[in-house]
Amino acid sequence: MLGNWLKTSILMAGIVALFGAVGAALGGGGGLIIAMAFAAAMNIYAYWYSDKAVLKMYNAQVVTPDNNQFRNFYNMVKELAENAQLPMPKVYIIDEAQPNAFATGRNPEHAAVAATTGIMQILTERELRGVMAHELAHVKHRDTLTSTISATLAGAISSLGSFGMLFAGHNSSGERNVNPAVAILIVILAPIAAMLIQMAISRAREFEADRAGADISRDPKALASALEKIHNYAHQITNETAEAHPETGQMMIINPLSGGGISGLFSTHPQTEERVARLLTMDNTY
């Protein structure tokens, strides 16, 4: 656990430093100030509104305790939240065939968990319980805030790169701020570097959420089985919302967009096989 937290902290520091370095390289001291102000504004917005935005994006419908159709699901989340010593999060259902689930919210007191109707159709109750425990582990460790900040900074770095040539002018003394060739390299390489760091953060948090989720449900084998099923189904069914908003893919328990592309460094999630293997080694501890 400590190793993953340390890795995340180092990676977060790296993405912030990269953001400042891009601003400074493209615009000197003024560019650094502009970059940091831009990042601060984006993070404030993401902190307060990102959960509402993503739930609206997926047309998620809130589940209440008196909802007959999803009462068992609501009670399952309630039991797991109590096991995790968390406040009861808001519970949402997404009418989507692709099996998936995610958590969002700026802190445990303002958290929400969502699951698709597709995931309820393919998983057993025990497997679904493992998935929701994984999502509550994200809430407990405030991973939703970490992923929001890292995604916002990565996007901001890409924006700076896109507008980088605007900063590559002259300062008040008539001197050029940065060599045009260097500016072009920054425009190309900085967004790639930011994306790699963001994805490394996401992979570290997924491993930790698997471990902590297994602790909450006390059933790592169920989560392992669920991950295998979701992985097999997720890339057979198109998720139009995820395709239109690929930045939300990192929030899901299995990235719906990572099935046929490049893996490894460019993956937001660890390999499913490795996640399953780690969970199965835990099974003997319960």
Average confidence (pLDDT) per 10 residues, the chain, 286 residues: 56 67 65 67 75 90 95 97 97 94 91 96 97 96 74 64 54 54 70 74 86 96 96 76 66 73 62 94 77
pLDDT of residue 243: 63
- Decide the pairing of beta strands 90-94 and 111-116: parallel
8 A C-beta contact, residue 106 and residue 89? no
CB atoms within 10 A of CB 148: 25
**CA angle (61 as vertex; 60, 65 as ends), nearest 5:** 140
Separation between Cα atoms, residue 158 and residue 225, nearest integer Å = 37
pLDDT in tens, 151-180: 666 666 666 655 555 555 544 455 555 566
CB–CB of 188/163 below 8 Å? no
The single residue listed with the structure tokens 């490394």 is 200
Q: Which CATH superfamily is domain 48-160+188-285 in?
A: Metalloproteases ("zincins"), catalytic domain (3.30.2010.10)
Nearest residue to 240 (alpha-carbon basis) of 68, 57, 55: 57
Single pTM value for the model:
0.77
User: Residue 240 catalytic?
Assistant: no
One-letter amino acid of 69: Q
- 7 φψ region: left (φ > 0), alpha (ψ -120 to 50), beta (else): alpha
**Strand ranges inside 98-194, DSSP E:** 101-105, 111-116
Residue type, 204: A
The distance from CA 144 to its chain's CA centroid, rounded to whole angstroms, is 6
For residues 95 and 77, give the distance between their C-alpha atoms in angstroms, rounded to a whole number: 18
* Beta strands at 111-116 and 101-105: parallel, antiparallel or unpaired: antiparallel
Contact 168, 178 (CB under 8 A): yes
Single-letter code of the amino acid located at 65 = P
Can you give the pLDDT at residue 188? 74
pLDDT of residue 79: 97
Q: Which of 96, 135, 206, 208 is catalytic?
A: 135
* Contact criterion met (CB below 8 Å) for 177 and 169: yes
Query: For residue 160, what pLDDT is reported?
Result: 60
* Residue-level pLDDT at 261: 47
Domain spans, the chain: 48-160+188-285
Classify residue 128 by burial, with Cβ atoms within 10 Å: 0-12, 13-18, 19+.
Answer: buried
**Which of 89, 126, 78 lies closest to 229, judged by CA?**
126
